[in-house]
Amino acid sequence: MDCQWCNSDQAAETTGTVYWELPDGSRAIEITETPAISCPACGMTCQSDELVSEIEDQLFLIDTKTLPKTLTFQDLMAQPRLLKRNYFKF
Ligand SMILES: [Zn+2]
């Protein structure tokens, strides 16, 4: 995998903790075990563009008021999306 920053081919997938500001700007949450790309050549660790938009989409679609301060990436993606309730009647 190529590093986006230094173009080294030593970049590898890893997981880490990221702090994410909620779309309404009210607070930031801590997301652990988030997939990331880590590069030993330049020391950079970052999320791919796809992953960033995946997290942002999810935060727009779920009820962020009930989110705990800290959760795992998996738990975040497993949160029920509010918009779905408009399409399915229980
Ligand atoms: Zn690098």
Which residues lie near ion ligand 1 (Cβ < 5 Å)? 3, 5-6, 8, 39, 41-42, 44
How far apart are the CA of 57 and the centre of ligand 1, in A? Answer: 27
Beta carbons within 8 Å of 48's beta carbon, 6+ residues apart: 35, 37
What pLDDT, on a 0 to 100 scale, did the predictor assign at position 79? 95
Mean pLDDT in order along the chain per 10 residues (90 residues): 92 95 94 96 92 95 94 97 61
What pLDDT, on a 0 to 100 scale, did the predictor assign at position 4? 85
Q: What is the pTM of this model?
A: 0.81
How do the domains of the chain map onto residue ranges? Answer: 12-77
How far apart are the CA of 42 and the centre of ligand 1, in A? Answer: 4
DSSP 67-80: --SEEEHHHHHHSP
What pLDDT, on a 0 to 100 scale, did the predictor assign at position 35? 96
